[in-house]
Structure 1
Amino acid sequence: MRTIATSTLNAGGQVLGIIPSFLKNMGLALDGLTETIETTNMDERKEEMLRQSDAFIVLPGGFGTYEEFTTMLSWSQINIHQKPIALFNINGYYDDIVAMLQKTIDAGFAPAENLSLFIDATSIEGIFDGFNHFHHELPYKYVN
């Protein structure tokens, strides 16, 4: 996140940072952002991210990234939001997660329509094409 934020600022762009107090207190906040919103905890951070975002692009990352992706996906399936979510699946990084989601559907724990709630993209062009064609269709989650 730091590299993307710094590169964006260096290119003249604007960056909004949303950080919980405990991470800021650990010295992990990046100075010089266009705006920083401090939250009390990680759950409040996700809620603020939802409020501030038009869409989500999930870059390769670790456990926190997975958790944020699945939270936004879960919130989409129960209609808390209707925003597009794109997995930026660089070099197959998210292939195993996509396979796990398919396995969840195959096992009957989620409807097949849930796969339309996110975009599996291997390029920037694929992300924007997915965003341009995205239509949130609320699956009936409770059929299985």
Structure 2
Amino acid sequence: MSRICVYLGSREGNSPAFRQAAHTLGTALGQRGHTLVYGGARVGLMGELANAALNAGGSVIGVMPDHLVEREQAHFGLTELIRVPNMHERKATMAANADAFIALPGGIGTFEELFEIWTWGYLGLHDKPMGLLDTDGFYAPLLAFLDSTVSHGFLAQATRDMLLDAPTPSQLLDALEAELS
């Protein structure tokens, strides 16, 4: 099966739907035999996702820079925790260990990771599928903005179409798995 990199918050957010989506996605990854690749934290949505994948029998690879091991409270119960010297190495290591990418709700770190991996795809540095899990409409304003960039001529429709989106973990995993096969 595939290794799926998930970008998401180290906080829980203010809706129980976010935590539930992380739990459901982690469980589905484990049950479907995928390996989870993520930022390596045991807190927030990141911890919920990793614990759910592990509890469902999945393998989980965390990647965390040395300076964040204590700050983000690294998860030491993973299948593998890769420590790297900096954030650039973290993103590169996560990308190198992944066959597909998903973004759940999160903050500026999640956005930065998502846009960088999408840019890498646009530039032809990878051809791996990417998707947004639009839990509780979290990404609806961003999706509308991205569609607006197409209508204003700053983004090609083909580039916009590279970024899949779905409201549920199972729908998004189905779409990514179809792209992977």
Is the TM-score greater than 0.5?
Answer: yes
Q: 1:83 aligns with which of 128, 144, 151?
A: 128
CA distance in 2, matches of 1:123, 1:27: 27
**Cα offset, 1:107, TM superposition:** 2.0
CA distance in 1, matches of 2:140, 2:88: 27
1:81-120 paired onto structure 2 within 5 Å: 81-120=126-165
Equivalent position amino acid for 1:127 in 2: L
1:16-45 deviation digits (Å, cap 9, x = unpaired): 000011101436211111101111111111
Q: 1:43 aligns with which of 88, 91, 95?
A: 88
CA distance in 2, matches of 1:26, 1:132: 34
Indicate whether 1:26 and 2:71 are aligned. yes
Name which one, 1 or 2, has greater alpha-carbon Rg.
1
CA distance in 1, matches of 2:162, 2:99: 14
CA RMSD in angstroms comes to 1.6
Q: 1:122 aligns with which of 150, 164, 167?
A: 167
**Where in structure 2 are there 5+ consecutive unaligned residues?**
1-45
SS at structure 1 position matched to 2:142? helix
Q: 2:53 aligns with which of 1, 8, 17?
A: 8
Equivalent position amino acid for 2:159 in 1: N
**Where in structure 1 are there 5+ consecutive unaligned residues?**
136-144
Larger RCO: 1 or 2 (CA < 8 Å, sep 6+): 2
Segments ≥4 residues shifted beyond 6 Å: none
CA distance in 2, matches of 1:103, 1:27: 35
Indicate whether 1:63 and 2:108 are aligned. yes
Q: 1:54 aligns with which of 94, 99, 102?
A: 99
Structure-1 residue corresponding to 2:33: none
Higher mean displacement: 6-15 or 79-88: 6-15
SS at structure 1 position matched to 2:82? strand
